[in-house]
Chain A
Amino acid sequence: AQKVTQAQTEISVVEKEDVTLDCVYETRDTTYYLFWYKQPPSGELVFLIRRNSFDEQNEISGRYSWNFQKSTSSFNFTITASQVVDSAVYFCALSALLNTGFQKLVFGTGTRLLVSP
């Protein structure tokens, strides 16, 4: 069975600090995708990134970076120089490949990030 663990329930930082959100996953699939979504206080779920299990290259997008390590089944997310607008709940997710070709998302329980001015 697929499982995503986000052990950090809540993290509080002061603006401009760097922060890393941890994500550990379990799957028996050889091909899968990993995702991060952001849920700001307004409640919508915003797509941030998708990584293929064959591509272990780290990715950077502005202040955001992602570290995918298959050896430790982790897909961690780092925000550099955090800002108040980064305050949100962040969800890590894993796609479970069904035989229909459909990829069902399995989400972690989320990490609430609070950035104070």
Chain B
Amino acid sequence: GAGVSQSPRYKVTKRGQDVALRCDPISGHVSLYWYRQALGQGPEFLTYFNYEAQQDKSGLPNDRFSAERPEGSISTLTIQRTEQRDSAMYRCASSSDTKTEAFFGQGTRLTVV
């Protein structure tokens, strides 16, 4: 597609439920990143894929968070047993390689009630 596409745009979920956030990167981009942005803050790094390999997950806050990119294209960020503190904007970005600038999607705003 023309840009990075994320779905859903908005997600409201009850505490304790699992959620899956989807990212469809720019066609041909091999590097994919997930960031989380709390209200009034800048985005913070969560994890990074090069093709299908998850090469860095140092930013995932705890083991309730996981991500995959099985075919090196679409990626899913899963949050299990959601908590209110997980409420944030989750942003996906892609780049053509590790050394070029990243382009961000519109984000998924997650609200845990």
Report if A and B associate in a common complex.
yes
User: Which residues from chain A sit less than 8 Å from chain B, CB to CB?
Assistant: 4, 33, 35, 37, 42-47, 50, 91, 93, 98, 100-110
Contacts of A37 in B (CB 8 A): 104
Q: Is the CB of B91 within 8 A of A45?
A: yes
**Contact partners of B35 in chain A: CB under 8 A:** 105
User: Contact residues of B with A, CB < 8 Å?
Assistant: 31, 33, 35, 40-45, 48, 50, 55-56, 59, 89, 91, 93, 98-99, 101-107, 109
Residues on A with C-beta less than 8 A from B99 are 101, 103
A110 and B104 alpha carbons, distance in the complex (Å): 16
Q: Which residues of B contact A108 (CB under 8 A)?
A: 42
Q: Is A44's CB under 8 angstroms from B107's CB?
A: yes
Give the contacting residue for A47; candidates B31, B33, B101, B105; CB below 8 A. Answer: B101
Given A44-B106, A100-B56, A107 and B44 contact (CB-CB distance below 8 Å): yes
Given A45-B91, A47-B104, A104-B48; A110-B56 close (CB under 8 Å): no
Chain A hits for B31, CB < 8 A? 102
Could you jot down 25 A-B contacts, CB within 8 Å?
A: A42-B106, A44-B104, A44-B107, A45-B91, A47-B101, A91-B42, A91-B43, A93-B42, A98-B56, A101-B99, A102-B31, A102-B48, A102-B50, A102-B98, A103-B98, A104-B33, A104-B48, A105-B43, A106-B45, A107-B42, A107-B43, A107-B44, A108-B42, A109-B41, A110-B40
B104 to chain A: closest residue by CB: A45
Chain B nearest CB: distance from A91 CB in Å?
Answer: 5
